[in-house]
Amino acid sequence: MFMTIRELLEKQYLEKDDIKQLLATSGEEMQMLFHKAQEVKFSALDNFVHLRGLIEYSNKCRKSCLYCGVRSNNTNIERYTLTDDEVVECAKLSHKLGYGSVAIQSGERSDKAFTDKITTLIKRIKEIDGGSLGITLSLGEQSDEVYREWFEAGAHRYLLRIESSNEDLYYKIHPHDERHDFHKRLACIDSLLSIGYQTGTGVMVGLPFQTIDILADDLIFFRQKDVAMVGMGPFIPHPDTPLYKYADQIPPVQERMDMTLKMIATLRLMMPEINMVAATANQTIDPMGREKAIMAGANVIMPNLTPNEYREDYLIYPDKACVSDKPEECFSCLDIRMKAIGHKILYNAWGDSVAFTKKKAKSER
């Protein structure tokens, strides 16, 4: 049954057809969607924005995702790994700037030298000011044991995007082999959830072969998994990757931006209390992209703290925003930008997912 946008925006539970209708909005109807998502976010989470100081630990990766500039087959970048002291310095800076949390992201490695190193780093970060920094990891697919070891060392949030919840599309954007296995990725998300991480997932928006039907299923997937956090950003074709050959067949920049915002806004209606990241990719394709994502329902920003000399080599996509900014510049710029759109950065707090905290409290009753 066809519903007007006003009726749809008041519905308590969105069915797949409702979601598709919202994702197909444009012009005034799209603005109504954004406005409603903002209203829902304010009533569930207030106007707070949480920060995670982003540490891009290493661009060494054992995988070859067909979209990513860091893929192992790309020989046009220099590979680096931060030293332990560099990581700890970044974490100390995050603490000093009042960000409250760090997020460690990296190319995927599963060898013991790497997993042990991460355990050591988590413990060292936990030593800063009596464990006052929250720790999010985004280090790809690992065994249950490794996820558990890192959790016990002190990490409490983990981001692992499913990239697409549609298996056919997944294999169009990844090689089809044992290192890029859709079911393994799903199993990793389940493992993170069962260990007790605040688990985040997400997708890229505007991929070749992606349809509104698939995007609606992605949002339903997040709801079914009952995840605590979601990160969605526009796909940005990288010239040194195989998917670049479709660059002229994907939606233009403005459409990819709008669709990303509609995905964020629709998900905010479906899951009012989760944390949602305003991805750097938004800002890369639109100078106001981060603000737009926040105004469409996102509530987390990850300012980059990676030492500047390494950033050029962590270009998962070209022209990444803020590559040359100094952390202190980012700090004051962000505060001003968030105030300008009626939001308030919550400093010196972990900024945990309210959805997760409530679910946990309920299960412990």
Q: Does 18 participate in binding ligand SAM (rule CB under 6 A)?
A: no
Which span sits near ligand SF4 by CB under 6 A: 59-67, 92-100, 261-269, 356-364? 59-67
Query: What does 99 interact with, of ligand SF4, ligand SAM, none (CB < 5 to 8 A by kind)?
Result: none
CA-CA distance, 264 to 31, in Å (whole number)? Answer: 13
> Do 155 and 57 contact (CB within 8 A), yes or no?
no
Q: Considering the complex, what minimum distance in angstroms separates the CB of residue 233 from ligand SAM?
A: 6
Instruction: Cite the DSSP H helix spans in the chain.
Output: 5-10, 16-23, 27-45, 84-96, 112-126, 144-153, 167-173, 182-195, 212-225, 253-270, 280-285, 289-295, 308-311, 327-340, 354-364
> Do 289 and 257 contact (CB within 8 A), yes or no?
yes
For ligand SAM, the binding residues in 149-168 under the rule CB under 6 A are: 160-161, 163
Q: Which of 107, 206, 208, 327 binds ligand SF4 (CB under 6 A)?
A: 107
For ligand SF4, the binding residues in 307-326 under the rule CB under 6 A are: 316
Q: Which of 140, 233, 289, 297 binds ligand SF4 (CB under 6 A)?
A: 140
What is each CA distance from 80 to 69, 77, 347, in whole angstroms? 14, 9, 31
Q: Does 61 participate in binding ligand SF4 (rule CB under 6 A)?
A: yes
Q: Does 65 participate in binding ligand SF4 (rule CB under 6 A)?
A: yes
Q: Does 186 participate in binding ligand SAM (rule CB under 6 A)?
A: no
For ligand SAM, the binding residues in 273-332 under the rule CB under 6 A are: 281, 316-317
Bridge partners of 231?
277
Q: Judged by CB, which is closer to ligand SAM: 38, or 58?
A: 58
For ligand SAM, the binding residues in 29-68 under the rule CB under 6 A are: 67-68
Q: Does 108 participate in binding ligand SAM (rule CB under 6 A)?
A: yes
| One-letter identity of residue 248 | D
What is each CA distance from 98 to 128, 138, 161, 232, 357, in whole angstroms? 13, 21, 27, 25, 22
Q: Does 133 participate in binding ligand SF4 (rule CB under 6 A)?
A: no
What is each CA distance from 16 to 13, 173, 212, 236, 262, in whole angstroms? 10, 24, 10, 27, 15
What residues make contact with ligand SAM under the rule CB under 6 A? 67-68, 70, 105, 107-108, 138, 140, 160-161, 163, 204, 233, 235-236, 238, 281, 316-317
